[in-house]
Amino acid sequence: MTENINSVGIIANPASGRDIRRLVAHGSVFDNVEKVNIVRRILLALNNLDLDKVYIMPDSFGIGNSALNGLWGEEKKNFKIDVDIMNMTITGSAEDSFNAACLMEEKGVDVIIVLGGDGTNRVVVKALKNTAVLSLSTGTNNVFPIMAESTMLGLAAGLYTKFTPEEREKVTQPIKCIYIIKDGEIVDIALIDAVVVNESYIGSKALWHVELLEEILVTRSTSYDIGMVSIAGRLTDVGVLDNGGAFIRIGDSEHKVKAAIAPGVIKTIPIKDWKKIKQEEVIELPKKKRIIALDGEREVVVKKDEKLKMQLTYAPARFLDYKAALELADSKKMLEVK
């Protein structure tokens, strides 16, 4: 049931920043102790804004409880927010983030702060119908989430709960995504890239064998992003707020580019051909047994007789621009003390 209160959700994925790319690449390890510190700073920021409630996803490490138990002295004495570590079954998989996002939206949270990489954010956005997200990078190939001080994100999220609907529209951005469509049914989404891989089973989810790549559809393309989207970055520029994306076919060709597909890993990629695509355009692929990797992780198995399409579109959720939120709050003098 939706509650008529100002509330924020926090989803901190304990597994983000810890996958196999620490073995096959040089990804940094983002430990859960630091995630506890980040959540605690968010809570302290929210506590200064008279927020009614915060919902936190439970997890096996106990990030939310540890963040609360670490409060001490005056900060503990002055902490007034009602914090709810949600009562839900923990599976230790991406299903936890998905279910937590669904529950938070049911409770009517104004915004969800996500600690994780592209994979965590993908499942959260997939779960949402109308709730804004604010994503902090704690994963591996981080294109969707941002790098910022969590105290400022907490302030921005808390202030956002007090904005009017018109103001909320001004400080949020649309989220481009890719629908994966099998036999006419949407089975999954990607936020950054959907990669067709010449494999028949998933195995390890992390994607790093470039010799198996066939096609790539991206929602954005810049010179500086890492992961499979880095391949598109060598070819064209498509900003996060630009309509459209790019579609690339990989294969034998004299046209080759060097791309940073993972931390510390630069590969040479042969480009058969590529093109820009329009928003809402549908790419139809020939029937063939294959795997689809979404935002760097193998997720979807396609059988040889299944019809596969990919569509560039918009997700129902929107992304909170924390800088825009703070600037709007200052213009309204919301942080001035009387």
pLDDT in tens, 256-285: 999 998 888 999 999 999 999 999 999 999
One-letter amino acid at 320 equals L
Cβ contact 150:38 at 8 Å:
yes
- Given a cut of 60, whether residue 27 has pLDDT beyond it is no
Cβ contact 43:54 at 8 Å:
yes
Which DSSP helix (H) or strand (E) runs through 150? helix 150-160
Q: Specify the pTM.
A: 0.93
CA distance 129 to 144: 18
CA distance 141 to 229: 10
Q: What are the chain's domains?
A: 7-175+316-331 (3.40.50.10330), 177-315 (2.60.200)
CA distance 45 to 91: 30
Cβ contact 278:212 at 8 Å:
no
One-letter amino acid at 269 equals I
**Residue reference for tokens 């596969």:** 308
Cβ contact 215:285 at 8 Å:
yes
pLDDT at 203: 62
pLDDT in tens, 159-181: 999 999 999 999 999 999 999 99
Query: Which one, of 66, 159, 80, lies nearest residue 113 by Cα?
Result: 159
**Residue reference for tokens 């901190």:** 12
Q: Cα 221–225–229 angle (5° rounding)?
A: 50
Q: Percent of the chain, pLDDT > 90?
A: 83
